[in-house]
Amino acid sequence: MTILITGANGQFGSELNNILQRGSSELGKLPPVYAGCEVLAVDVDELDITSVDAVDSFFSRHKPDLVFNCAAMTNVDGCESDEETAYRINALGPRNLAIASQRHGSRLLHVSTDYVFRGDGERPYTEHDTPSPNTAYGRTKLAGEKAVLDSCGNSCICRTAWLYGYVGNNFVKTMLRLARENGRLKVVGDQVGNPTSAVDLAYQLALLGASTETGIFHCTCGGEPVSWHAFAERIVERAGLSVPVESCTTDEFPRPARRPAYSALENRHLHDTIGNSMRDWREALDSFMEHYLEQEKTI
Check residue 295 and give its pLDDT: 85
Q: 35-40: long-range contacts (C-beta < 8 A, 24 or more apart)?
A: 36/1, 37/1, 37/2, 37/3, 38/1, 38/2, 38/3, 39/3, 39/5, 40/2, 40/3, 40/4, 40/5, 40/64
The tens digit of pLDDT for each residue in 153-203 reads 999 999 999 999 999 999 999 999 999 999 999 999 999 999 999 999 999
Mean pLDDT over residues 254-281, rounded?
A: 96
CA nearest to 68, candidates 208, 180, 199 = 208
> What angle separates helix 93-104 from helix 52-62, to the nearest 10 degrees?
30
pTM for the whole structure: 0.96
CA nearest to 42, candidates 74, 66, 20, 10 = 10
3-class secondary-structure state, position 105: coil
Domains and CATH numbers, the chain: 2-169+196-222+264-279 (3.40.50.720)
Cβ-based neighbours of 251, under 8 Å, separated by 6 or more: none
Catalytic positions are: 137
Distance CA 237, CA 242 (A): 8
- Which segments of 52-127 are extended strands (E)? 66-69, 107-113
* Pairing state between β 28-29 and 163-164: unpaired
pLDDT value at 22 more than 90: yes
The tens digit of pLDDT for each residue in 97-131 reads 999 999 999 999 999 999 999 999 899 999 999 99
